[in-house]
Chains A and B, each alone.
Chain A
Amino acid sequence: MIERPSSDSGYSRPDESAGVMVCDPPDVADERSVELFLHAVLPEEPLVKIRPGNSLTKIEFGELWAHRELLYFMMWRDLKVRYRQTILGASWVILQPLLLTLVFAIFLGKLVKVPSDGVPYPIFAYAGLLLWMFLSNAVLSSSYSLVVNAHIITKVYFSRLLIPGAAVGVRLLDLIIASLILVALMFYYGVTLTWSILMLPVFVIQITALALGVGIWTSALNVRYRDVGTMLPILLQLWMFVSPIIYPSSIVPERWRSLYFLNPLAGTVEGFRASLLGLPFDWRSIVISTAITLALLVCSIYAFRRMEESFADDV
């Protein structure tokens, strides 16, 4: 049986008469300990301060940096484990967007004749699906990451942000591998590169930030409310159709555009495709999507840190 503390002040001191020696130093007569005390130089300030409640709402970038090797190891583990006992191994990374592109190219490109801003539809769709597969996989796997790693969360402390972070990181590697097909497609269709390509990393960073923003938030929510995991696949599917993945945003009527581009993914995908295929940039939508993405990321890290302290008790 466990009892509540007896005193009314909310806490009780251990019974002094029970032989408790709170400040009693260890046996200094022991030669070894004397030597140790002379040598032990303790810092003035504690390295770790443990306090109840929410004293650490600030993001500990220092701690994240100190744990960067762990981030690497977690990504490495996820990669290793994912392709254990598969026949096709890493080629799944390429097959996924490739098969989708094939289907969309036949049905939407050839049959429905969806416009594609003057570039061949397969390459148009592949570029979009590449980003989409990254975002959707990254969000899904990071949203489950804390739950899946529950056994570690309840046994070791490290910056919890690393866990959804590693999940997104692994998918970023997938994105890079799957881009090889994109290069091949561009060769095949004879797409010439322009200076716009220099903007490409910006959009990759932006979509990574977006994946982190959504993934970090859903991962924390999923610890307490497993509904999130169930809800997410359908929400993601909806998100894909309201984004210019398999169709260009130019088919959206002018007066709906400003609403349409409030979806941060819209500006990012259009920007990515424009820099890749040398199309004109729509700077307004790029600025809007960047701002929304950053705001989302900040809010989601804040929300994560607020929920973080109870992960070990809830998961």
Chain B
Amino acid sequence: MMKPIMRVENLGKKYSLGAREVIAPTLREALVRFVKNTAERFSRGRDTDAQTVWALSGVTFEVYPGEVVGVIGRNGAGKSTLLKILSRITKPTMGLADLYGRTGSLLEVGTGFHPDLTGRENIHLNGAILGMKREEISRKFDEIVAFAEVDRFLDTPVKRYSTGMYLRLAFAVAAHLDPEILLLDEVLTVGDALFQKKCFAKMKEVGREGKTVLFVSHNTASVQHLCGRALYLRNGVLSEEGKPDAVIASYLKDLSESESAGLAC
């Protein structure tokens, strides 16, 4: 029997609506509220959670080694929350997830880039933040620079880079990350058409190397292009799972339905 490399069971995340109202902004508020809440709890017995929202609930799926799985859904469907939980940035409210491999996550291009540091310095810093070893960064340095096509500006602070150059450099570092499981959030939409093509090629290569990829995107074309399987999240619930074509079709159907519903209003 084949074992999954990622097992997600009944995963859920509850957020407080208007965090500022639930989490006291100041220490004094917190004390006042603590007293008030305790008193209320005594009088009402249980606190209600009308003020909360489930960004993700009861999500269950498995991913097998070497799979490239796409996660699609509208804004606020819980895609990013799912990735944040899997990359351990935030904790789930319920459920569990087990990862049987080294995990790298890429929730944003250029995390930790510092505008005052040069391209060279940022490659090292960003690599370390993404979880690369120092030796690994040095080894891949030339490759990264070549990929990003910024060799002439290596010793220029990145605040003087054009947006395109900045994104290319950031993607280049990330693309050379070498984990067994890669969690990606909408990162392929950087740079011009030519660079995007290069990114796609790189992503395909990652897939061919047998890495497991969970890839979140609005872009149905890229999911179709890269993924062997797709998950469709709707309102925090996993509503469909299967071949990308079928899943994307029902996603698009939902989209056009809500669009026409919106127009009817």
Give the interface of A toward B (CB within 8 A): 1-5, 10-15, 18-23, 25-27, 32-33, 36-37, 39-40, 42-43, 46-53, 69-70, 72-73, 76-77, 80-81, 84-85, 151-158, 224-228, 309-310, 312-314
User: Given the known A-B contacts A3-B54, A37-B66, are A11 and B94 also in contact in the complex, defined by CB atoms under 8 Å?
Assistant: yes
Contacts A37-B2, A156-B107 known; A50 to B98 CB distance under 8 Å? yes
On whether the beta carbons of A36 and B129 are closer than 8 Å, the reply is no
Determine the residue in chain A with the shortest Cβ distance to B93: A52
B76 to A, closest residue via Cβ: A2
17 contacting pairs across A/B (C-beta < 8 A): A2-B53, A11-B94, A12-B58, A14-B58, A14-B60, A19-B246, A20-B241, A43-B100, A48-B88, A49-B96, A50-B97, A53-B91, A73-B129, A84-B116, A152-B112, A157-B87, A158-B131
The reply to whether A156 and B87 form a contact with Cβ atoms under 8 Å apart is yes
Question: B5 in the interface, Cβ–Cβ < 8 Å?
Answer: yes
Residues on the B chain within 8 Å of A309, using CB: 90-91
B224 interface residue (CB < 8 Å to A): no
Closest to A221 in B: B27
A-contacting residues, B114-163, CB 8 Å: 114, 116-117, 121, 124-125, 128-131, 133-134
- A32, B86: Cβ atoms closer than 8 Å: no
A225 touches B26 (CB 8 A): yes
Nearest Cβ on chain B to A160's Cβ, whole angstroms: 10
Interface residues of B in 232-246 (CB under 8 A from A): 235-242, 246
C-alpha spacing A77/B96, complex, angstroms:
36
Chain A residues with CB below 8 A from B103, complex form: 47-48
Task: Tell me whether B59 and A77 are in contact (CB under 8 A).
Answer: no
User: Is the C-beta of B55 less than 8 angstroms from some C-beta in chain A?
Assistant: yes
Q: How far in angstroms is the closest Cβ of chain A from B154?
A: 15
Chain A residue numbers with a CB within 8 Å of B93 are 52
Give the residues in chain B near A10, CB-CB below 8 Å: 94
A47 touches B102 (CB 8 A): yes
Cα–Cα, bound, A39→B239 (Å): 32
**Distance of A244 Cα from B252 Cα, bound (Å):** 71
- A243 to chain B: closest CB distance in Å? 25
Shortest CB–CB separation between residue B226 and chain A, in angstroms? Answer: 14
Which residue of A46, A47, A314 is within 8 Å of B19 (Cβ)? A314
Contact A36 B89 (CB under 8 A): no
Q: Give the CA-CA distance A52 to B56 in the complex, in Å.
A: 13
For B10, the chain A residues whose CB sits under 8 A away are 11, 13
The answer, yes or no, to whether B34 is at the interface (CB within 8 Å) is no
A37 to B85, CA, bound (A): 26
Instruction: Tell which of B61, B95, B239 touches A15, judged by Cβ atoms closer than 8 Å.
Output: B239
Between B61, B96, B124, B129, the greatest number of chain A beta carbons within 10 A of the residue's beta carbon is seen for B129
CB neighbours of A157 from chain B (8 A): 87-89, 105
In the complex, the answer to whether B88 meets A2 with C-beta atoms within 8 Å is no
Q: Evaluate contact between B101 and A47: CB separation under 8 angstroms.
A: yes
In residues 47-85 of chain B, which contact A (Cβ within 8 Å)? 52-55, 57-62, 64-67, 76, 78, 84-85
Q: Say yes or no for B108: interface residue by CB 8 A criterion.
A: yes
Residues of B within 8 A of A151 (CB): 111-112
